[in-house]
Structure 1
């Protein structure tokens, strides 16, 4: 029947029961039908009480950097629109301002290298004259303006350059850069992935010096990946990758004098086998701060280096019985005293130190975690930060005086709040969501948190989702038989019947300091979980020991034994859930990606009497295969801790497999190498175990592109339906 009268159609809709409402599909989820509206690339200005947003016009396929007023939210100006420049025909990928905010560095035609790094065509846009000029002929990395706005430093083919804006000429700072040998001013693979930064150089406050890190990775072992592409013969991608216990790049610190054209190597002292995870100039133009940490990453020095003499001085030392986390929270105040964050009292908190390194005060304290540092208002003496004071699954924004008094909660709604402050700290744009409220953007007073104005919401998405009658995410604290109290959530079918028995599909990540049980809006996986709930499954997630935001002791208990306590907690949680009257304990499965894949693999092996099936995507199967910085932070080296590596690696427990196991990997995963899966496959074969597996050619750790995610999630859904 192709035609139904409108009146009859409306009547049918009116009498349809809730269970007959729309069902989620993978095509909808991965087709972008539930995409959120965002304020893309939101940046607060520093010279005026304004902010910018990178807006996309889908109709014209163009980008615009638009300027708005913080107080009124009114659009003040369009600084640049890509449709007006043929050089930007492929759009604006990102932008940064010069210090005087009169110029922009525009990136276009970007090409991704690894997780954070990319090369692009970069242009300088003069906002006043509305002119666009290219910085370099080729695609370059990480360009930044000098403090006096006259120059731009950038990296090209492992060397540093300085471009003079007025003369439009570039001078080469380093000349020894060479692929897979020497890198100047840009991090190597392992620094980028594990210390989460790419630009390893920094301009000083007067624009006359550049500090940079040089990486000598000559002796670092190489890793190669076949790239199959579309040509007759595949090619090999070869790059330096230090696995646990192997040689790291040798790092050294240098300061380039722009006016003199000379470079000075800084003698940092008697450090051996160390990392330089951060460099940052202080407010004193001739004083550079440098963080140096030992290979075990449990002993960190904050150094101040005199740029003229090259003399370093240890200002602060941080030690930990397990490891010290690296952050970007170091902030220098006008008098060069500084803000530092530390877990030294058992929770992550804010500290104020004099420029000499003497502790002035611990600003925040309590059995909760400071999760983001936003800034200091020198007019009022207030510090602004985000924390878990309202529960470890929530985030709120607070202000507190530099002396640790007069704390005020600025965000009234329970869920996940984050802030972008105006340059005068009079207002902030709050980004809020919860498991029941999609992301909203609102303007608030920084004095008392009162809402001034709504900016953007996703009510249209919420209305659209009402047609699907989606199940809700129920938060709880799950207590195992061993007494562990763990944050958890559960998604039950909308027509849940407590007298029925349901299969349970568990999801987790479980990596050190991570969190999956958090009160925010849906990601793509959440829609998938709700789709599974619509099809009769209960989906559950438990954050076991080793995860974050519940204090250092809870997080660091897994030190030197990754995969022991976390796996124990997932198995025990599954046993607890299996005793619920409405759960079929014989039908419990588990899924995870990356560290979560390592976990789900271990769970079906060590918990073979609990889990009926498991899916592992891009898993580590032996920590000996993973990189030095991450693995040794939590495990020390294999030479020092062989049993910690071997006892908890899935590859050594394949003989225990009883249930159904699906193993998935991308062949071009530069992070967790496909070697992990290939060696696991061979171990399973030699143990005569049956299992399912899939390799995605030329896909990296994210396994995406085109229809890839749709095909992948279809495969996993079918596996769940068949095996669980």
Structure 2
């Protein structure tokens, strides 16, 4: 459940599949078709763009491409851009790494093949390693699946900028449990996919780093840990990048429980390992993400770091901006907000511009400016709006887009003091006459009364005040699952056109509200985030649009787990659930993800039991649809099998849909809507 993939979780809700033949004959289908056809005329532009020089900002509104002159505030039509679009670099498959890397000058290539690394120069290939043996679980130049999936590790080797050194991984997976999945089920003879898949409490892959001297042809082992491989620091080694001057290799290391993260450097010339930074959080988990250079373009492969750089850290309890000198270990905290910094807007020799979740609500993001040393920090934007911005290359101007759920996007130009110097006319919204669809935010208290939560509801174009609609919760619910969400003037979810109110909830565990909010779920997956969704369902009683006797919930991956748990733990609030590709017991998922949030099973047996869907199988009252892909190598089919078996043994009726030869996907839309229409509208009684 890689957090970098979480943003596309909504795309997993439905898998590409032929429509079911029953939904077109059910209530709401014709309205769904008609509403989405007319909805093509419901348009909104977020006025996104980029600076082409110090005073000109090219953006797009509903009328097309425009150019804004920040000095005068005038807007004109933009000339058509010529030249071919750049071809995006192909990324490795989920959980995998690039199998080949090249030196900066293109004269060298390192290739992973059959467990070993090979170097090609002037068309001649020679082995860098020869001891790799996949049958024995030893591989060089590639990583374990959990590294790609849970630690964002896309590289397994990389050349120094000067081309003199090559780092590469070594993994020993000989003690890691192997998981077997039947593939190609539609063929006469299926095949078998075998993956080393560590689970909570089982042996993890043993990791090491090596650096190869391209000139001498010799490799040296990097001292990534003080001794033998154990549960201490160096259990995980990831986030590996060269410094720009090629003098040092930067890497991250953590202990197994992910309580400590160190950023280290290795000097290949001397063999010296030094700790540049250490963060520790014994009350939860440390931010596991590899640091990236704030303000720098995101490199797809083998990014290089300057020796001194800006990055984000939650070490203070909130995400703030820090400056780190990787060579000396000197670190400075530049911002000191009691709210999360959600990103960098721009920087110049005399200014840093950045976004903070500290407006009227945590979802009204604002724009701040400070000096390069962090002094003279000042909020520049109105906290009653959600703001996004872009700074000119010289830092003299900002283009700011303001919006809320009820205020359409509009653009202003500011100087670096926050003074508005222009309000250019833009076309950001178009809505057909008589179309009442809307997306509105609402707040509500948590069940325990300790925190105010927010959600949003999508209402259909045919909605009339006072009308009661059946409700569908669209959920993910997992840690970091909704990113640092900022409020938007949003086109409503087209699914609402079938006659449902579609509700989303920003529950505890998500980003943007500080570490305490983010880590409230520690040791307790399946508790607080589910309680918060239930709190939203409870709050529906005060909403004029909600028919609280017809409430469904759906999601995929963690959203599938959350959907099942909502129905099982709160059967009086939720009446139907579609749970796709769901983890049903945390003993069945991978160690890296699960132990981060739940600790080792031996340390948290009660938490694992509480967070298991199997614990509540006997409590099922509503309608439950389970879906899994037979080729899912992320959340394995055994999760669905075990829950289905527990429900059957408890005498509980449920439905199961199978995606033959599909991977980590969701139930197709037509089948899901057929299920909810039948179970909430046509035949709601059990």
Normalised by the length of structure 1, the TM-score is 0.74
**1:371–1:386 CA contact under 8 A, matched in 2:** yes
1:490 aligns with 2:457: yes
Residue 618 of structure 2: aligned partner: 655
Deviation at 1:156, TM superposition (A): 4.0
Q: Distance in 2 between the 1:722 and 1:687 partners? A: 26
1:387 aligns with 2:356: yes
Deviation at 1:236, TM superposition (A): 1.3
* CA 1:337–1:608: 2 relative to 1, 3 Å: same
Deviation at 1:23, TM superposition (A): 4.2
Could you tell which deviates more after superposition, 334-343 or 268-277? Answer: 334-343
* CA 1:239–1:467: 2 relative to 1, 3 Å: farther
* CA 1:647–1:150: 2 relative to 1, 3 Å: same
Residue 186 of structure 1: aligned partner: 142
* CA 1:202–1:114: 2 relative to 1, 3 Å: same
Q: Which has the higher contact order (CA 8 A, sep 6+)?
A: 2
1:113 aligns with 2:93: yes
* CA 1:251–1:599: 2 relative to 1, 3 Å: same
Residue 57 of structure 1: aligned partner: none
Could you tell which deviates more after superposition, 406-415 or 337-346? Answer: 406-415
Could you tell which deviates more after superposition, 168-177 or 669-678? Answer: 168-177
Residue 94 of structure 1: aligned partner: 88
* CA 1:481–1:336: 2 relative to 1, 3 Å: closer
1:322 aligns with 2:277: no
Deviation at 1:348, TM superposition (A): 0.7
**1:386–1:396 CA contact under 8 A, matched in 2:** yes
Could you tell which deviates more after superposition, 672-681 or 538-547? Answer: 538-547
1:25 aligns with 2:19: no
1:671 aligns with 2:645: no
Residue 348 of structure 1: aligned partner: 319
1:403 aligns with 2:397: no
Q: Deviations over 1:557-599 (max 9, x none)?
A: 1111111122222223322322446543332222222212212
Residue 134 of structure 1: aligned partner: none
Decide which of 167, 173, 196 is 1:217's aligned counterpart: 173
Decide which of 410, 426, 444 is 1:478's aligned counterpart: 444
- Number of residue pairs aligned between Structure 1 and Structure 2: 622
* CA 1:173–1:439: 2 relative to 1, 3 Å: farther
5 Å-filtered alignment, 1:300-319, equals 300-319=261-280
SS for the counterpart of 1:639 is helix
Residue 128 of structure 2: aligned partner: 173
**2:580–2:665 CA contact under 8 A, matched in 1:** no
5 Å-filtered alignment, 1:547-626, equals 547-580=510-543, 583-626=546-589
* CA 1:438–1:346: 2 relative to 1, 3 Å: same
Decide which of 536, 542, 545 is 2:508's aligned counterpart: 545
Q: Distance in 1 between the 2:486 and 2:110 partners? A: 40
Normalised by the length of structure 2, the TM-score is 0.78
Deviation at 1:387, TM superposition (A): 3.2
* CA 1:581–1:440: 2 relative to 1, 3 Å: closer
**1:217–1:240 CA contact under 8 A, matched in 2:** yes
**2:240–2:250 CA contact under 8 A, matched in 1:** yes
Q: Deviations over 1:601-649 (max 9, x none)?
A: 1121111122222221111110000111110000111122111101221
1:369 aligns with 2:349: no
* CA 1:264–1:618: 2 relative to 1, 3 Å: same
**2:146–2:197 CA contact under 8 A, matched in 1:** yes
SS for the counterpart of 1:539 is strand
Q: Distance in 2 between the 1:602 and 1:632 partners? A: 20
Q: Deviations over 1:439-459 (max 9, x none)?
A: 9999999997989999xx996
Q: CA RMSD in A?
A: 4.4
Could you tell which deviates more after superposition, 682-691 or 203-212? Answer: 203-212
Decide which of 112, 132, 150 is 1:155's aligned counterpart: 112
Residue 253 of structure 2: aligned partner: 292
Deviation at 1:722, TM superposition (A): 3.8
Q: Distance in 2 between the 1:159 and 1:328 partners? A: 25
Could you tell which deviates more after superposition, 641-650 or 195-204? Answer: 195-204
* CA 1:669–1:709: 2 relative to 1, 3 Å: farther
Residue 252 of structure 1: aligned partner: 208
Residue 497 of structure 2: aligned partner: 531
**2:115–2:138 CA contact under 8 A, matched in 1:** yes
Q: Distance in 2 between the 1:32 and 1:697 partners? A: 33
5 Å-filtered alignment, 1:67-146, equals 78=83, 94-95=88-89, 113-114=93-94, 117=96, 141=98, 143-146=100-103
Residue 196 of structure 2: aligned partner: 240
Could you tell which deviates more after superposition, 429-438 or 475-484? Answer: 429-438
Decide which of 221, 239, 251 is 1:278's aligned counterpart: 239
**1:411–1:417 CA contact under 8 A, matched in 2:** no
Q: Deviations over 1:223-243 (max 9, x none)?
A: 111123542121111111111
Decide which of 301, 308, 321 is 1:337's aligned counterpart: 308
Q: Deviations over 1:258-294 (max 9, x none)?
A: 2222211112232623101211222442212221100
Could you tell which deviates more after superposition, 392-401 or 663-672? Answer: 392-401
Residue 13 of structure 2: aligned partner: none
Residue 266 of structure 1: aligned partner: 222
Q: Distance in 1 between the 2:537 and 2:55 partners? A: 52
Q: Deviations over 1:206-230 (max 9, x none)?
A: 2211222222222211111112354
Deviation at 1:714, TM superposition (A): 5.1
Decide which of 470, 474, 482 is 1:507's aligned counterpart: 474
Residue 104 of structure 1: aligned partner: none
5 Å-filtered alignment, 1:713-724, equals 715=675, 719-722=679-682
Q: Deviations over 1:54-106 (max 9, x none)?
A: xxxxxxxxxxxxxx9x999767863x68xxxxxxxxxx8524xxxxxxxxxxx
**1:214–1:254 CA contact under 8 A, matched in 2:** yes
Q: Distance in 2 between the 1:449 and 1:642 partners? A: 57
